[in-house]
Amino acid sequence: MSEPAAPADTIPHGDPFAIFEDWFAEARVTEPNDPNAMALATATPDGRPSVRMVLLKGHGPDGFVFYTNFESRKGHELAANGHVALLFHWKSLRRQIRIEGPISEVTPAEADAYFASRHPESRLGSAASDQSRPLENRQVYLDRVAAVRALYPDGNVPRPAHWSGYCVRPEAIEFWHDREFRLHERRRFVQSADGGWTSTMLYP
């Protein structure tokens, strides 16, 4: 007897944000940790790429938000070239989502609210870190954390001016889903001039 045929096309055609919500909700259940971790690719103006993980801290049709040190390597690259790519890979679901688009800074009020919501120790660590710059040894960093702690004994560390968030406004969102025998499924959504989204299936 032959096996029942697997459905030919399982990634919905409709709203890419709704698909993101569904897949992200599943990942929050199945991933062992950090389902909101995503790779952030940046590039220098002359096209030299670099990539690192960051955490998604807000999302919706307006975009995908992460927070970082604006004086870090990525911060300098973003100041010079405001186009990025994001990548989620959820191993537990065998799924990938790629997002591409320009960035904008979140408002100071949004950044303040998010910074205030972080654990006091995380706030200390961010305030004491010269992210991406050389560190002579780890004790130097720990001493700087202790110095910031002494400045704010109530734990109420204010957000450093150079620490804030970026919102990636997606121009393209692509969903990839593992299928049997590596006959994987891909669907790429691109935003049209009227703000709507069209999608195309791609060879895997």
Give the interface with ligand FMN as residue ranges (CB under 6 A).
Answer: 34, 37, 50, 52-55, 66-69, 72-74, 131-132
Look up tokens 């990025």; give the residue: 84
For the bound state, the minimum distance from the C-beta of residue 117 to ligand FMN, rounded and expressed in Å, comes to: 13
Q: CA–CA separation, 127 vs 111, rounded Å?
A: 14
CB of 203: closest distance to ligand FMN in angstroms? 31
User: Which of 170, 179, 171 is closest to 203 using CA atoms?
Assistant: 179
- Nearer of residues 50 and 198 to ligand FMN, judged by Cβ: 50
Structure tokens belonging to residue 47: 């096209």
Q: Which is nearer to ligand FMN, 55 or 148 (CB)?
A: 55
Q: Using an 8 Å Cβ cutoff, are 105 and 164 in contact?
A: yes
Smallest separation (angstroms) from ligand FMN to the CB of 72: 3
Q: Contact, 41 vs 84, CB < 8 A?
A: yes
Residue 79 CB, shortest distance to ligand FMN, in Å, is 12
Least Å distance, CB 125 to ligand FMN, is: 11
| Residue with smaller CB distance to ligand FMN, 129 or 199 | 129
Nearer to ligand FMN, 69 or 199 (CB): 69
Beta strands in the chain (DSSP E): 37-43, 49-55, 58-60, 63-69, 83-90, 95-105, 163-168, 172-177, 185-191, 197-202
Residue closer to ligand FMN by CB (options 104, 131) is 131
Instruction: Note whether 204 and 176 are within 8 A (CB).
Output: yes
